[in-house]
Structure 1
Amino acid sequence: MPDALSPIAAFARAHDPDRFLCALFAPAERREALFTLIAYNHELARAREAARTPLLALMRLQWWRDAIGDAVAGKPPRRHEVAAPLHAALGAGLLDPDALLAMADAREAEAEEGGIPSEPALAAYLRGSAGGFAVAAGRLLGAEGPALARLQAAGAVFGLAGILRSVPALAGQGRCLLPLDRLAERELVPEAVIAEPDLATPVVAAMAASGLAEARALHPRPPRTAIAAALPLVLARRDLRRLAAGRAVPAARGLGDRLAVARAGLLGWI
C-alpha cells in the first residue's frame, strides 16, 4: 500500500514505476538503497528537462556530483529529499560513488548543443546512463565481474526503449534524443520531430527492430540476489517489440507487462 512505503520508495514509485516494480524483487535489506538509486537516477534524468538552458542542466549535474563528494568526505547531507538518503546509502557503503559519478557524467550528452550526433554516440550515452544505473544496481545486489558487463548491456537496451517510446513526450519538452545520422536517413532534423513527432515513426521502428534483436540475444544471468538489476530487460523487450511493429507503448503498464516481470523475477531467468 502507498502509505506503507518509505518516502524514498514512494518517490521511486511515482517517478520511475518500471524500475520500482523491478526493485521489488531485490533482497529486502537492499531494497531501500535500490529505491534511492532509482531516485538519484531520476534526478539526473530530469536535469536537462527542468533546466531552461544546457548550462543550467550542467550545473544541476554538478550539484549532484558535489552532493556525492560531500558524502564521501563525511560532510553533512544536503537538504533535499533524494540527497539525504543518497548520503546515507553512500555512508553505509551500499552504493559506489564512482559509479554514481559516472552516471552523472553520462548525462552531459543530453546538454550538448545540436543533439546526439550519431548512433554510436547514442550507444555510448546509453551505456553510461541507463547502463550505468544497471551496473550500480548490480554492484549493490552482489553482481561482479562479467555479470556487470552483461547488466550494462541490458540496461542500455532498456534505455534505448525508453528514448524510443518517449519521442512524443520529449518533443513536448522541446527535445529530441534520436541520433542525427538516423534522422538524416529520412531527411529529418530534430526540429521537425519536435514539431511533429509522428514523422519519426519509421526511424523509431527501425531502431526498435535493431534493439529488439540485441535484447533477445542478451541473457544477463546475474546472481539470484541481483535479478532485480536485470529485470528492466523484460520490459525493454516487450516495448521494443511494440515499437518495431509501429505501435505505441501504453503510458501505464498493463497486467501483461507486470506479470512478465513477476514471472522472470520469481523464476530468476531473464
Structure 2
Amino acid sequence: MSLLKIKEITVKFGGLIAVSNFNLTLETGEIVGLIGPNGAGKTTAFNTITGICKPASGSVNFNDNEIVGLSPDKITKLGIARTFQNIRLFQNLSVLENVMVGQHLRLKSSLVAAILRIHSYIKEEEAMKEETRNLLKSVHLEEMVEEKAGSLPYGKQRKLEIARGLATHPKLLLLDEPAAGMNPQEAVELMEFINEIRDKFGLTILIIEHQMAVIMGICERILVMDHGVTIAEGNPSEIQHNQQVIEAYLGVEDDA
C-alpha cells in the first residue's frame, strides 16, 4: 500500500527552481534513500513534505490526505516526523524532557489546565512520562533519562533526536543525514538502529545521507537528484553502476 505519493512537485525561490517535477511513491514499510550532490534539492523535498516549503505546483498525498498547504504541526499530527542535518536538541534539558517535547503535540489538556496544573493535566503528564520512559527503553537510552542532552556522546544525541520524532507517533520518518559526523563504527550502529526501529514501530523511512555505505547498506530503493531533478531511481546495485549518477557525483572531464 502506498503511504506517500508525490506528483510533479516544483519548488521555486524567486527565479531559482530548487526542485523540478519531483515524483516519489513510498510503500508502507520501505526504507528509501534520497541522495545527490550538495544543492541537489534533497532537503527542499523534505521541507515540502513537512510543510515548511509550499510548492509552486504539484501534490503531496500522505495516507490518502492531500497535505500541500497544511501547517507543519498538522502534518506532524497526521503521522510524519523528521530529524535535521544539524542536531536540534534542547541541550540544557534532560533526555526525558527532550522526548516529552515530541509528545506535547498529542496532549488533550488545555493550556489553562497545564498552567493551573489541574488533576486531569497532572494525570495526563504522568502517563506521558511513563510512555516516554518506555520509548527511551526501546531505543536503548533508558539509563540516560536524567542526563542533559548536551552531555551525551554524538551518536547518542542522534538517537535522542530520532526518539523525539518517534514520540509523535509517526507512520513516516524522514531522516536528514543522520550519519553526518559519525565514524564508521557509529555508522554501522546507526544502520542497525534504523532497521530496528523500522521493524519495532512499523515505520516507513525516507533518508537523505552522504555516507554511501549507510545508503547502500539499508535502503531497498534509492532516488538520485541533481540540480533539482531526479536523474536515477533503482536498487543499490543499479545506482552504483549508473553512469549518470557517477558523473553527477564525480564529474567528468571535458573533451579535449
TM > 0.5 fold call: no
RCO comparison, higher one (Cα < 8 Å, 6+): 2
Query: Which of these two proteins has the greater Rg computed from alpha carbons?
Result: 2
More strand by proportion, 1 or 2? 2
More helix by proportion, 1 or 2? 1
**TM-score, scaled relative to structure 2:** 0.31
